Structure 1
Amino acid sequence: MVTTDEQIERVRELVASVPAGRVATYGDIAGAAGLSSARTVGWIMRTDSADLPWHRVVPASGRPASHLARRQLARLELEGVPISGDRIDLTRARHRFPPGSGEHGGEPRADDE
């Protein structure tokens, strides 16, 4: 996966800007960062997110990855994110990046994870 330092920093800035009590999907961040794929955001998050609120980035299904689910849902619940069972209520908790945040204006990507 080829990414530039600028793309990595943009993703990091966007993740850091998601407020407590809200979440963004990988596709939301990809769109706001002007990236063509939500998978690129996933790769960046796997390799460079230890100092970020990683728990606020979720798949479009609202279900965290199984290996992170318990820890991620617990952190989100402490922040007041609405959760039903093992799924985040994206209708109520989804952070919307301001229009013009990136190439795609902060709109969710079609390939949102």
Structure 2
Amino acid sequence: MEPEEMGPEEYVEAVLDAVEGIPPGRVLSYGDVAELVGAGGPRQVGRVMSLHGGAVPWWRVIRADGSPPPGHEIRALEEYRVEGTPLRPDGRRVDMRRARWDGR
């Protein structure tokens, strides 16, 4: 399903609802969120997050390599430490193997 098939407002709401459902200390990649929503892809999710994601736990949506959202690294890393999100040894990226949420 494409985001356009849902309607733009429905797609934005679906993405934001999915992000709100990610538990503290866990993360999803942009592509994971698209899969959970059942529409769009990483770029569409990224666009929704950049325009509408300020009121949801945006730091829990990251790149597939564990990198925080570009331009928000410092704030995201603060949130990861507060929430106990598993980080890689470099301390700058999330350990996706341990932190990825399964959606349940």
Question: Shorter chain as normaliser: what TM range?
Answer: 0.7 to 0.9
Q: Supply the distance in 2 between the matched residues of 1:66 and 1:50 (Cα, whole angstroms).
A: 14
Q: Supply the distance in 2 between the matched residues of 1:9 and 1:52 (Cα, whole angstroms).
A: 11
1:77 aligned to 2:77? no
- Calculate the TM-score normalised by the size of structure 2: 0.86
Q: Which amino acid aligns with 2:53?
A: S
Q: Supply the distance in 1 between the matched residues of 2:9 and 2:43 (Cα, whole angstroms).
A: 17
- Calculate the TM-score normalised by the size of structure 1: 0.80
In the alignment, structure 1 segments of 5+ residues that lack a partner are 99-113
Q: Supply the distance in 2 between the matched residues of 1:65 and 1:36 (Cα, whole angstroms).
A: 19
Q: Which amino acid aligns with 2:96?
A: L
Which of the pair is proportionally richer in helix?
A: 2
In the alignment, structure 2 segments of 5+ residues that lack a partner are none
1:50 aligned to 2:54? yes
Q: Percent identity?
A: 35
User: RMSD of the alignment, in Å?
Assistant: 1.6
Q: Give the conservation status (yes or no) of the 8 Å contact 2:27–2:101.
A: yes
